[in-house]
Chain A
Amino acid sequence: MAAMSLLLRTAAAWGARRAASGAAGAARLPWLAGAARLPGTVAPLRHSSDHGKRMFIIKATSFYDTRFLNLLRFYIFLTGIPAALFITYVNIFIGEAELAEIPEGYVPEYWEYYKHPISRWIARYLLDPPEKDYEKDLALLDVEARKTEMRLMELEARRLMRHRGDGPWYHYETPDKNLVDNSMKSTPDN
């Protein structure tokens, strides 16, 4: 307590008086009850230095938020800026294709149906020609159609063999007829 300065002692006494009256005065004047005080206004201000009173502002941390936003911007720009520069270069110096009528007797390559140079490049070097894609789809359909046909034929064969009994399927092992003992059926009075 001896170390407390005069300033802080007056502040403490004043605060205590305020708190005491605040409990009694809260019933009459609710807005005067002990509200949160800004840290600069607990003690009266002395205009001593040019910076004003130095404050330790207590607020929620923004460390994680700023770290997240910095990292987000970093990782987006890491590939975003080279991509943007490349695309700008292509758009300015190479430019898009012009529409033209197909010349007589000329069959355009499959990538020459696209306008943007990057689309053309992707179609030419990364993707399969659309004719090949078409043929792949048709091949898949053909295989599945043959499978369907085979399955239906198998079902029909099975049905007929079961019904007629004259095919290689639906043979069941039965005991040899020579092993059967018919002695108990040989006379009618057993």
Chain B
Amino acid sequence: MPEDRDWEAYKVPPTRTPAVERTTSLPNPVTFFQTVFGYVVEAPVTFVREWIERQQAKNKFYYYHQKFRRVPDLSECLEGDYLCFYEAEAQWRRDRMVDQEIVEIIRERLGACKQREGPNQFQNCAKEMEQLAQVTKAYQDRYGDLGVHGNARTCLMKQKHRMMEERKAQENASQ
């Protein structure tokens, strides 16, 4: 079954609609449709769902998020130590997946902010936009352009090149 949305994650602030001041004596037709919908659709669905949850509550079981131990990085492996390479590669892949999820979460936060603010989004969501820009730039710096065959070794080489360019830029700046 697809992941349910976590309704607590992006809590919408309470609405500030003013209290209703009736000016007519005609009943609101919306309440009629709301009650009809409630009886025809909502009550049976809620009943069935609660019945299912009662059946499932009889034997509850749990699942956990696996925590992996940190192993020596690729930069700490000796040359020709293929076992160390394999473990470092596995750890790098897990870290890349985690980073992808982080970027996804920041993107969702921006989307939630835009949805919440509506027409005010360009002013009020500046923080989230800035955060997303920074996070995507960091992701691009680390994992971008490695291509589909990117592995821990190519990423390490990219980091080495970045450090070399940084050093060169520093030297040029200090001259």
Contact = CB atoms under 8 A, between A and B. Distances in A.
Contacts of B62: 97-100, 112
A97 B61 contact: yes
A84 interface: no
Contacts of B55: 92-93, 95
A124 to B, nearest CB: 12
Interface stretch (A9-17, A70-78, A138-146): A138-146
Given A94-B56, A94-B59, A96-B1, A101 B64 contact: yes
Contacts of B33: none
B60 A98 contact: yes
Nearest to B67: A102
B80 interface: yes
A46 to B, nearest CB: 56
Interface string B54-75: 0110011111111100000000
Given A93-B55, A94-B56, A145-B80, A113 B63 contact: yes
Nearest to A119: B63
B52 interface: yes
A118 B154 CA distance: 38
Contacts of B65: 99, 102, 113
Interface in B35-68: 52-53, 55-56, 59-67
Contacts of B52: 92, 95
A142 B87 CA distance: 13
B9 to A, nearest CB: 14
Nearest to B3: A115
A85 to B, nearest CB: 16
Contacts of B67: 102
Contacts of A96: 1
Contact of B83 (A94, A95, A108, A142): A142
A137 interface: yes
A113 B86 contact: no
Contacts of B122: none
Given A93-B55, A93-B56, A96-B1, A138 B63 contact: no
Given A102-B64, A138-B86, A145-B80, 5 more contacts: A92-B55, A94-B59, A95-B55, A141-B83, A142-B83
Q: Which 3 A-B residue pairings sit nearest by Cβ, starting from the closest?
A: A95-B56, A97-B63, A100-B62
17 contacts: A93-B55, A95-B55, A95-B56, A96-B1, A97-B61, A98-B60, A98-B62, A98-B63, A100-B62, A100-B63, A108-B66, A113-B63, A113-B65, A137-B86, A141-B82, A144-B82, A145-B82
